[in-house]
Structures are given as structure tokens and as C-alpha cells.
Amino acid sequence: MSHSTTEGDGNQNPDVIERKVIDVIVERLHIDDRAQVTPDARLYDLTDSLGLTEIVMDLEDEFEGSMSDEAVGTIQTVGQLIDYVRTNFHAPREKDKAGQ
């Protein structure tokens, strides 16, 4: 229960990554109830293939990484998407706060 990592120790806190992935999904899909975007939520229950493609593009931009079509095809839940981002992407950009 006391797994708290301070930001700035070189490695992003996994909760920061999870929050950012969920933020991208909520914003892209204009979801009013953030509580429905849980790690076990199925992506295709939230959106269609175009929506998923847009989410992936947003994540690639946010985390400055890329996902292969093959990898996208294997991801079915929000949790799997979060795990993929944790494993394969860098920390999210911080420009968001004072930007646009």
C-alpha cells in the first residue's frame, strides 16, 4: 500500500502513465464519465477502429513513441494499452500544462 514514487527520480511513476493514457482516451472520445475508463474496459466497447487509431496517434505524440499495427491489433483492454505504453514508450511530455 505504501508504493509511492516521487517524480523526478528518472523513472516515471506508473500511476502518472496510467493517468495520462486514460486522459488521452477520455479527451479523444469525449467521455463524460471518466470512471468507465478502467483498466479492464474493452477498447472496442469504448470506440471503433478509427477511434482506437486516433487514440494510438495521440499516445504516440504524447509519449514520442510509435506502435506497430501488429501491436495495436493485440491490445484489447485499456489495461493492456497502459502496459504497452509503460513498457515501450518514454515519459509523457510536460508541455500540456501551459500550452494551447
Residue 6 has pLDDT above 80, yes or no: no
Question: Which has more pLDDT, 90 or 30?
Answer: 30
Q: Where are the domains of the chain?
A: 14-88
Q: How sure is the predictor about 47, in pLDDT bands with cuts at 50, 70 and 90?
A: very high
Of 97, 85, 27, which Cα lies nearest the Cα of 60?
85
The CATH number of the structural domain formed by 14-88 is 1.10.1200.10
Task: Give catalytic residue positions.
Answer: 48
Confidence at residue 8, expressed as pLDDT on a 0 to 100 scale: 41
Question: C-alpha grid cell for residue 30?
Answer: 469525449
Of 50, 29, 38, which Cα lies nearest the Cα of 77?
38
Question: Which has more pLDDT, 63 or 99?
Answer: 63
Of the given ranges (5-9, 23-27, 31-35, 81-85), which has the lowest mean pLDDT?
5-9
Confidence at residue 28, expressed as pLDDT on a 0 to 100 scale: 97
